[in-house]
Amino acid sequence: MTEKERKASVIKAVKAAYPKAGCSLKHKSVWQLLCATILSAQCTDERVNLTTPNLFKSYPTPKDLGNAKQEDVEKLIRSCGFYKNKAKNIIAASKMIAETFRGRVPKTMEELTSLPGVARKTANVVLGTGYGINDGIVVDTHVSRLSNRLGLSKNTEPEKIEKDLIKIVPREEWTDFSHQLIAHGRAICQARAPKCAECPLKFLCHQKGA
């Protein structure tokens, strides 16, 4: 098996193992997804999901959150960590959505990354999960770790890993593949204690249990 064939087999195996994988951040709108994704930086999705119901109950629209007092928002999101900066960003981003984009989260990478607190990873989440637009591949800590372990990329920088994955994953599968890889990272290929004996990809793994 060539390296190209092995990588294709890894992608196929991940897809087969987690066919129903999806975004674990609970949301009822693209705007809620955007805010939740900003809050998820260096924080678990579980913690974010416990935090956002009260946040969105208090501020149900971008306009409401955009006009909020920072100290009030900080109290609601404190448990997510880095709450001062995150509060500042979700308020500023919501205000910009309400005023510049007429209440709708934009649909392009350029416009999304113009929002405070939104870099490429967050924009990819919004485009892929929120709008079904495969403009890129989300590279979080799970995707980064597994891309190296499974031999899909030798790079460590998220944007370089994304470029490597884009070359080998069919475009229509970009969003789903990220969800599937994240699901595998959480269930089996964990950072500190990967469950290699249980891994459905162990015969394709680049590092053979590393």
Chain centroid offset of residue 34 CA: 10
Among 15, 45, 88, 140, the one annotated catalytic:
140
Cβ atoms of 37 and 72 closer than 8 Å: no
Among 7, 95, 121, 176, the one annotated catalytic:
121
Catalytic: 84?
A: no
According to the 3-state scheme, what is the secondary structure of the chain? CCHHHHHHHHHHHHHHHCCCCCCCCCCCCHHHHHHHHHHCCCCCHHHHHHHHHHHHHHCCCHHHHHCCCHHHHHHHHHHHCCHHHHHHHHHHHHHHHHHCCCCCCCCCHHHHCCCCCCCHHHHHHHHHHHHCCCCCCCCCHHHHHHHHHCCCCCCCCHHHHHHHHHHHCCHHHHHHHHHHHHHHHHHCCCCCCCCHHHCCCCCCCCCCCC
Catalytic: 164?
A: no
Q: Which residues contact residue 157 at a Cβ distance below 8 angstroms, ignoring those fewer than 6 apart? A: none
Cβ atoms of 122 and 34 closer than 8 Å: yes
Catalytic machinery residues: 121, 140
